[in-house]
Amino acid sequence: MFEKVNPSHPDKIADRIAGALVDAAYEKEENPRIAAEVLIGHESCHIIAETSVHFEHEFIESIVSRITGIDPSKDFIVIYDEYPQNVHLAENQIKKIRCGDNGIFKGQVVTAEQQCLSAFVRNLYEKYPYDGKFIYSINNKIVACQSNIDSKVLKAILRKSFLNSVVIVNPLGEWTGGINVDTGATNRKLGSDMGDAVTGGGLHGKDLSKADVSVNIYAHIRANQLGTPVEFSCAIGDEYVDGLPYSAIVEIAKDYIFNQCGGFEKFAEWGLI
């Protein structure tokens, strides 16, 4: 079984806003410290950030407006609360890159089923860039909820791509989707982002010192290199993971984020799969 949502799903909109904040932090500092949580829906967006860099409220509004397509000056409220990182957590990173989280992480090999559904959803999104959610369920059944598309058209497309599957489309009928239909929150779609992988925390809205970002990415890469699941654990202050300096883990994740994905916001669009 596997679920895949597209970048216009309300939870992914929240992830993308959080990712855009992390991108902005890296533009201001070489190694920023930031963790941002986003809750959005029904004409409001609330962001709480622990950050080493300061953002003006107007800048935050511009990010929300760009990603949602909604003008915050027109009955859309953006609340931004900014705080410094806890002093003890901040001191952990002074002079040396050390693990910034406690966590257990299990990287899994991406299955053919997951690759197939993910590719389908990505391709469909290029033509229909609206809120959508797709599930590859037991007994070879596909449940598709896609807004702003005729259900008969979507069913025909799915049947052509998944010949031997039972296809169920928009069980509740035609719908418009988006953040005024549903609420979105950061890191609520980890099943879509990580498949069968296991994590102690969320992927999005955090800098690379956080194991939730770097070790999750490393575990995903390592599992698919080896063709077998891998498991790691770490604690705040650890300097080695899987026999590698934590700084090396961070560099691997940094390369993945910036060179393969195009930044944290782009990474948030689709996650690891």
**pLDDT exceeding 90 applies to what percent of the chain?**
85
**Does the CA dihedral 179-183-188-191 come out positive or negative?**
negative
**Pairwise CA distance, residues 52 & 94, whole Å:** 13
Chain segment 205-239, per-residue pLDDT in tens: 999 999 999 999 999 999 999 999 999 999 988 99
**Mean per-residue pLDDT, 112-134:** 96
**Mean per-residue pLDDT, 176-198:** 95
**Mean per-residue pLDDT, 116-144:** 95
Whether the pLDDT of residue 138 is over 90: the answer is no
Q: What is the pLDDT of residue 75?
A: 84
**Mean per-residue pLDDT, 148-161:** 94
**Pairwise CA distance, residues 84 & 143, whole Å:** 43
Whether the pLDDT of residue 63 is over 80: the answer is yes
Whether the pLDDT of residue 91 is over 90: the answer is no
**Pairwise CA distance, residues 211 & 235, whole Å:** 9
Whether the pLDDT of residue 65 is over 80: the answer is yes
Percentages helix, strand, coil for the chain, rounded to the nearest 5? 40, 20, 35
Q: Give the confidence band of 88 by pLDDT, cuts at 50, 70, 90.
A: low
- Residue 61 neighbours by CB distance under 10 Å: 18
For every residue of 199-257, DSSP letters joined together read: -SS-SSSB-TTSHHHHHHHHHHHHHHHHTS-EEEEE-TT--EETTEEHHHHHHHHHHII
**Mean per-residue pLDDT, 49-73:** 95
Q: What is the pLDDT of residue 97?
A: 83
**Mean per-residue pLDDT, 17-25:** 98
**Mean per-residue pLDDT, 123-136:** 96
Q: What is the pLDDT of residue 129?
A: 97
Per the CB < 8 A criterion, the answer to whether 112 and 245 are in contact is no
**Pairwise CA distance, residues 131 & 13, whole Å:** 10
Q: What is the pLDDT of residue 171?
A: 87
**Pairwise CA distance, residues 42 & 58, whole Å:** 20
